Amino acid sequence: MPDQTRPLKIGTRGSKLALAQAHETRDRLAAAHGLPPEAFQIVVIKTTGDRILDRPLKEIGGKGLFTKEIEDALIAGEIDIAVHSMKDMPTLQPDGLVIDCLLPREDVRDAFVSPQVQSIGALPAGSVVGTSSLRRRAQLAHRRPDLQLVEFRGNVQTRLKKLDEGVAVATFLAMAGLSRLGMLHVARDPIDPAEMLPAVAQGAIGVERRAGDSLSAELLAAIHHVETGHRINAERAFLARLDGSCQTPIAGLAELREDSLLLRGEILRPDGSAAISGHREGSVSEGPAMGADLAEELLARAGEGFFDHL
């Protein structure tokens, strides 16, 4: 248990969504261990990704943009644990840090968001759609080459404001984020994963700690969600083998079926001119091997230069 004189410091980004995730983690920890809220202190840390808002993410660097400063604080002992959207996490953690605590996963789907239009299918030809996600951009261009795609950065509130201002007629947001913000009403149409496979680890929150910190390890073990862990392990092994940076459109989703794990994966050309998908099914313990194996298959089918910009 944390001692009474020093609260456990929970590091997080400062966005509304990040804070909601940090509060959920604190509430789960408090409930699991019968501790009062004062046993925890939420520490907001600004990251490079939060600071640079006027350039496409792919220009300022890949994954890690939203995590480096938080991991530095964890290593330095300025915080005890860090709460992350697993979707934004690099596949490897820095030496000395581990993520072995996953909270129960939220809705994995993307939502079609538009003040005027009901669904992707109902978008008039030539409509302007905003997204900063390479995956969503490629998936949409693959399905609707007639649409016009524009860069759309910023937090959920900023993107909704851009829709109101008419910068674009529609965008996509993760159902998980909208749910955690209490904003599910803006989701016009939740998109079935068979239609638009989500990002690896979408909807999952992970809690990072120092590998040698046995107190944090013990506290976090009590709130780890085992099924979510199995799914994330398979998906992240798939991503790791693809060398997934933010620069490549990759989608992946593992789901539990009876007592097996079904992993689906997809890679796309950045302009949406081609998409290659496949799946693996096996036991939960085989998840990481299935992920690597599926990635190998898709890479072999793609051939040299598949991800190159056209």
Ligand X SMILES: NCc1[nH]cc(CCC(=O)O)c1CC(=O)O
Nearer of residues 136 and 280 to ligand X, judged by Cβ = 136
The answer to whether 65 contacts ligand X (rule: CB under 6 A) is: no
CB of residue 218 to ligand X, shortest distance in Å = 26
**136 three-state secondary structure:** helix
DSSP labels, 73-111 = HHHTTS-SEEEEEGGGS-SSPPTTEEEEEEPPP----EE
In whole angstroms, what is the distance from residue 198 CA to residue 136 CA? 8
In whole angstroms, what is the distance from residue 69 CA to residue 13 CA? 9
Tokens of 196: 């638009």
CB of residue 87 to ligand X, shortest distance in Å = 5
Q: In the stretch 186-205, what mask flags binding to ligand X with x, by CB under 6 A? A: ----------------xx--
Q: Which stretch binds ligand X (CB under 6 A): 76-84, 93-101, 174-182, 271-279?
A: 174-182
Identify whether 88 is a catalytic site residue. yes
CB of residue 187 to ligand X, shortest distance in Å = 10
Size of the site for ligand X (CB under 6 A): 9
The answer to whether 177 contacts ligand X (rule: CB under 6 A) is: yes
Among 70, 173, 250, 251, binds ligand X (CB under 6 A): 173
Q: In the stretch 82-101, what mask flags binding to ligand X with x, by CB under 6 A? A: ---x-xx-------------
CB of residue 309 to ligand X, shortest distance in Å = 21
Among 140, 176, 268, 290, binds ligand X (CB under 6 A): 176
Of the residues 54, 80, 88, 243, only one is catalytic, namely 88
In whole angstroms, what is the distance from residue 258 CA to residue 264 CA? 16
In whole angstroms, what is the distance from residue 180 CA to residue 170 CA? 21
End-to-end CA distance of the chain: 55
Tokens of 278: 């496949």
The answer to whether 83 and 22 have CB atoms below 8 angstroms apart is yes
| Residues labelled as active-site residues | 88
Residues that bind ligand X (CB under 6 A): 85, 87-88, 173-174, 176-177, 202-203
